[in-house]
Structure 1
Amino acid sequence: MADDGDLSSQRRDGIVIGDDWPGYSLDLFSYPAHYAGDLDCVIIPHGVIMDRTERLARNIMDDLGNHDIVVLCVLKGGYQFSVDLVDRIKALSCNSNRSIPMRVHFIRLKSYLNDQSTEDLHIVGAEDLSFLTGKNVLIVEAIVGTGKTMKTLLKHVEAFKPNMIKVAG
């Protein structure tokens, strides 16, 4: 068992998979036949992803206490991750003495025009986010690459003066 220092480091740094990791053999998994020619291995099994999603849900509950959460789901990529994460938070909330009311709102980010990246970020569905004022906001995004898009989104959300902003991605 790791000591507290190791656990806080894991929480902060996440799980690191080295570039030389060969993955798991396909013989260990069931997968749709139409993927047969496209897969070489499984890097992260679905169960591990779901376990990590539950751990993240527990961390969110610890960080936000009993306060309402407004989940701001970034479409399209963040949808399934958002659904899984919200389901885990709901399940944990139902099985504890704490209840965390949640409201889910969807936005879509566009920084491409005809397959070309542009400097401008257009946020669809974020025209009036005044309901975020004084709320705890959880932004759920599937992939945070360079962070440029997320920085722009955070600046936009901060303008509505939420109580707290957390990002899960």
Structure 2
Amino acid sequence: MADVVSKTALDCGIVIEDDWPGYNIDLFSSPTHYSGDLECVYIPHGVIMDRTERLARNIMDDLGDHDLVVLCVLKGGYQFSADLVEGIKTLSRNSNRSIPMRVHFIRLKSYLNDQSTEDLQIIGAEDLSFLNGKNVLIVEAIVDTGNTLKMLLKHVEGFRPKMIKVAGLLVKRVPHSVACLPDYVGFEIPNRFVVGYALDYNEYFRDLDHICVLSETGKMKYKI
């Protein structure tokens, strides 16, 4: 994937340029029931896994020997969170440093079709008092305007954790961003609506292994 990358940096992730057309969908395996619904494969599954492994190493380097509460943001973040936690566990087993972890799940809902809304619902986060004095790693699949992440951070800070770090698989370049960025970023991508690897469009496409760009046909087919 070197031909789509302008630079690599630990603070901003792998940067995918605006003119990156993606890979032909026919070159990859994808569920036949989504035939015609996808424009292209944007980030293949193997590339996601390689980058997740690197993020696990970065987290291990920074937070090794610290107890950690992983706060997984559902539903889109479950696959990234599972793979990231597994990567950290693998490193922990093969190192003289370790990160004792516990995992908690919350759910955020702020999208209607392909548009983010101001109506943010936080489900499962009513009482996070167990975060008091703990080191917290929030794991989020995608950050666009940063408004959702900003509101979530404010909510979590209210429970007075010792430290909060954020790992985000994708950061989308969008207008009017509040510049609330994760500490660990997988990929910085253009402002295109992507699905797959547990990212959905009205609950469809979570069963894709790759991150793909949704076609206009797909948007209309599954619109509510």
Q: Same fold (TM over 0.5)?
A: yes
Where do 5+ consecutive residues of structure 2 fail to align? 1-6, 169-224
Secondary structure in 2 aligned to 1:59?
helix
Give the TM-score normalised by structure 1. 0.83
Q: Does 1:117 align with 2:144?
A: no
Q: Which amino acid aligns with 2:50?
A: D
- Alpha-carbon separation, structure 1, partners of 2:130 and 2:70: 12
* 1:129 Cα deviation after fit: 1.0
Give the TM-score normalised by structure 2. 0.64
Instruction: Give 1 or 2: higher strand fraction.
Output: 2
Structure 1 match to 2:94:
95
Where does 1:78-89 land on structure 2 (aligned, <5 Å)? 78-89=77-88
Q: Does 1:151 align with 2:161?
A: no
- Alpha-carbon separation, structure 1, partners of 2:147 and 2:26: 39
Where do 5+ consecutive residues of structure 1 fail to align? 1-6
* 1:151 Cα deviation after fit: 0.8
Write out per-residue CA displacement over residues 103-154 of structure 1, whole angstroms, 9 at most, x where no aligned residue: 10111124469x99345x3322112111111111000111111111111111
Secondary structure in 1 aligned to 2:99?
coil
- Alpha-carbon separation, structure 2, partners of 1:24 and 1:48: 13
Structure 2 match to 1:58:
57
Structure 2 match to 1:3:
none
Q: 1:106 to 1:28 in 2, by over 3 A?
A: same
Sequence identity (%): 77
Segment of structure 1 superposing worse, 154-163 or 121-130: 121-130
Between the two proteins, the alignment pairs up a number of residues equal to 160
Structure 2 match to 1:29:
28
Secondary structure in 1 aligned to 2:69?
strand
Q: Does 1:20 align with 2:52?
A: no
Moved over 6 A (4+): none
- Alpha-carbon separation, structure 1, partners of 2:47 and 2:155: 33
- Alpha-carbon separation, structure 2, partners of 1:27 and 1:149: 35
Which protein has the larger Cα radius of gyration, Structure 1 or Structure 2?
A: 1
Q: Does 1:41 align with 2:28?
A: no
Q: Does 1:165 align with 2:164?
A: yes
Structure 2 match to 1:128:
127
Q: Which amino acid aligns with 2:166?
A: V
Segment of structure 1 superposing worse, 46-55 or 97-106: 97-106
* 1:26 Cα deviation after fit: 4.0
Write out per-residue CA displacement over residues 46-94 of structure 1, whole angstroms, 9 at most, x where no aligned residue: 1110000011111111111211110111111111111111111111111
Secondary structure in 2 aligned to 1:77?
coil
Task: Return the structure number with greater relative CO, CA threshold 8 A, min gap 6.
Answer: 2
Are the equivalent residues in 1 in contact too, given 2:64–2:98 (CA < 8 A)?
Answer: no
* 1:27 Cα deviation after fit: 5.2
Structure 1 match to 2:105:
106
Instruction: Give 1 or 2: higher helix fraction.
Output: 1
Aligned CA RMSD, in angstroms, stands at 2.3
Q: Which amino acid aligns with 1:78?
A: G
- Alpha-carbon separation, structure 1, partners of 2:17 and 2:116: 31
- Alpha-carbon separation, structure 1, partners of 2:124 and 2:59: 24
